[in-house]
Amino acid sequence: MSSNVFPERGQGHAALIKQLQAFKRNDVPWQEGRVFAYVYDPGPEASALVHEAFSLFLTENGLDPTAFPSTLALERAITAMAKDLVHGPDQAVGNFTSGGTESILLSVKTARDRARALQPEITRPEMVLPETAHAAFFKAAQYFDIKPVVTSVDPDTFRADPNQIEAAVTAQTILLVASAPSYAHGVVDPIEAIGRIAQAHDLLFHVDACMGGMYLPFAGPDVPIFDFRVAGVTQLSMDFHKWGYAAKGASCILYRSADIRRHQIFAWSGWTGYSVVNPTVLSTRGAGPMAACWAILHHLGRAGYERIVAQCQAATGRIIDAIDAMPGLYCLGRSDCNLMSFASDRVNVFTLAEDMRARGWYIQPQFGFGPSPANIHLSVGLHNLANIDAFLADLEAANRQAPAEGPAPGPEQLPPELGGFSPEDLFDHMGRLAGTDGSVLPDRMDGINSLLNGLPHATRDSLLTEFVNRLYRQAPSG
Ligand SMILES: Cc1ncc(COP(=O)(O)O)c(C=O)c1O
């Protein structure tokens, strides 16, 4: 189908669309609602609107709001709606970004640059975050040279521990971080308690509501307060391309005031070209995601999201109860929303995930880390609702049939004989054990995942880097 050389001659529309469709042939079957991660599908009617809105703004460029005031208007409208949902004060401001990671990168960069400007005595900036915080914060720490100071969470609830957070604050701290909710277990951290710490130490405090921002406001009165109603919260990320059901490439970062956001903006006229003034990471910015986001928010409205969230809450509750009743399986923590995870003391969850994949389901394996054993994550969305009974029946059968070999061994010290290996050699060695050279995607991941689960995360990360470095080479012809 694809070749590895640049095409000599162009091809026609129909042939190319057919080939593009063929690229998808091994993808997880999201259209059938059998995928419990990555996909946020609002159903055919709303999807048609998202498609059309996206296409309408395919060519406009959010780089220059003076040339394309439409993009400025869309961005203002979207961030105003977001601010309304999470109780931003009047003076709160925000920007539309390409995703949760960009929102988080911007927030951390803003904290760093604000400290540079206002607190020159801070020479080695630190960010205090719970071990359940999203990896994007660690990416930001790497990119912007901030020291992540990681605090452990309650081993039963997986919620951040305010006492540990307060104890980790030093004269170098520039930012506190908490999740609403955390991805892995779907629990909301104690935002009010952490907000009080932020205020007491005059610190910025980022609430990662990438998952919760478009979900928790619709989940009723029992949800813990997680947003700008907490006085200490200074910045908050929330994604539309998750539970907002927008097209991918849609998130926002909000700040309590423009004084904080000022440190986010990049302006450069010191070159021979046009003046670059970017509020966000990207310069050229597609307007399609903005238009599609604006459209779906207006299409569903508060009533639509409330209806979806009520159904997802009920479905998640049913799944949790059913899984807790299956032999050997148990749910981790008590999810506050539609994200949850479960582990087993009887079977290897990596095997279970692959067995379920063979039955046509995608459920997401997560490595053991800190108090969280190897587990399976489920994000339960609108697209899954019609399949809950079928899913539980297959999970029950797969769990019963999986060998009772016990859980995959958790992280150990790296065996001394492997200590001197370079990442490349270690990858070759582990690859032989798992039966892959890393150049193609393996059919089953359980062997590899079980091996990786047993390694310290730094070793795991260098192996995963090597894997991806090999994977993103020339596509095999076919
Ligand atoms: C809590 C949380 N924060 C941040 C992110 C990163 O978002 P994205 O994948 O849009 O960059 C995710 C993604 O799942 C998330 O769950």
| Confidence at residue 429, expressed as pLDDT on a 0 to 100 scale | 80
| Confidence at residue 1, expressed as pLDDT on a 0 to 100 scale | 52
Residue 465 forms part of a structural domain: yes
Residue 75 forms part of a structural domain: yes
Residue 448 forms part of a structural domain: yes
Instruction: Give the residue whose CA is nearest to atom 8 of ligand 1.
Output: 100
Residue 270 forms part of a structural domain: yes
- Under the banding of pLDDT at 50, 70 and 90, the label for residue 245 is very high
**Same domain, residue pair 101 and 243:** yes
Choosing from 211, 236, 240 the residue with most ligand 1 atoms within 8 A of its CB, the one to mutate for a pocket test is 211
Domain count across the chain: 2
Choosing from 295, 314, 332, the residue where a domain stops is: 295
- Tens digit of each residue's pLDDT (9 = 90 or more) over 396-433: 999 999 999 999 887 776 677 777 788 788 888 877 77
**Same domain, residue pair 291 and 420:** no
Choosing from 295, 319, 349, the residue where a domain stops is: 295
- Tens digit of each residue's pLDDT (9 = 90 or more) over 290-315: 999 999 999 999 999 999 999 999 99
Range of 259's domain? 55-295
Helix, strand or coil for residue 25?
helix
Residues in the ligand 1 pocket, defined by CB under 6 Å:
99-101, 134, 136, 179, 183, 208, 210-211, 239, 251
Residue 229 forms part of a structural domain: yes
Residue 288 forms part of a structural domain: yes
- Tens digit of each residue's pLDDT (9 = 90 or more) over 278-293: 999 999 999 999 999 9
**Centroid of ligand 1 to alpha carbon of 233 (angstroms):** 19
Question: Would you state the structure tokens that stand for residue 354, as one six-digit string?
Answer: 């692959």
Helix 446-453 crosses helix 423-434 at what angle (to 10 degrees)? 130
- Tens digit of each residue's pLDDT (9 = 90 or more) over 320-337: 999 999 999 999 999 999
The helix (run of H) or strand (run of E) holding residue 302 is helix 288-324
| Confidence at residue 477, expressed as pLDDT on a 0 to 100 scale | 58
- Tens digit of each residue's pLDDT (9 = 90 or more) over 358-389: 999 999 999 999 999 999 999 999 999 999 99
**Same domain, residue pair 272 and 128:** yes
- Does position 475 have pLDDT exceeding 80, yes or no? no
Cα-flanking dihedrals φ and ψ of residue 96, to 5°? Answer: -80, 135
Q: Give the global pTM.
A: 0.96
Instruction: Give the residue whose CA is nearest to atom 16 of ligand 1.
Output: 183
**Centroid of ligand 1 to alpha carbon of 443 (angstroms):** 26
**Centroid of ligand 1 to alpha carbon of 328 (angstroms):** 30
| Confidence at residue 413, expressed as pLDDT on a 0 to 100 scale | 66
Choosing from 271, 295, 319, the residue where a domain stops is: 295
For strands 266-268 and 235-239, give the pairing.
unpaired
For residues 186 and 379, what is the distance between their CA atoms, to the nearest angstrom?
A: 9
| Confidence at residue 180, expressed as pLDDT on a 0 to 100 scale | 98
Choosing from 98, 101, 187 the residue with most ligand 1 atoms within 8 A of its CB, the one to mutate for a pocket test is 101
DSSP helix, strand, coil percent of the chain (3-state; round to 5): 45, 15, 40
**Same domain, residue pair 222 and 81:** yes
**Centroid of ligand 1 to alpha carbon of 101 (angstroms):** 6
| Confidence at residue 438, expressed as pLDDT on a 0 to 100 scale | 67
Q: Determine the average pLDDT of the residues in 85-109.
A: 98
Measure the CA dihedral 64/69/75/79, to 10°: 120
Instruction: Give the residue whose CA is nearest to atom 13 of ligand 1.
Output: 100
Residue 267 forms part of a structural domain: yes
CATH code: domain of residue 260: 3.40.640.10
**Same domain, residue pair 146 and 278:** yes
Choosing from 134, 236, 245, 340 the residue with most ligand 1 atoms within 8 A of its CB, the one to mutate for a pocket test is 134
For residues 170 and 178, what is the distance between their CA atoms, to the nearest angstrom?
A: 17
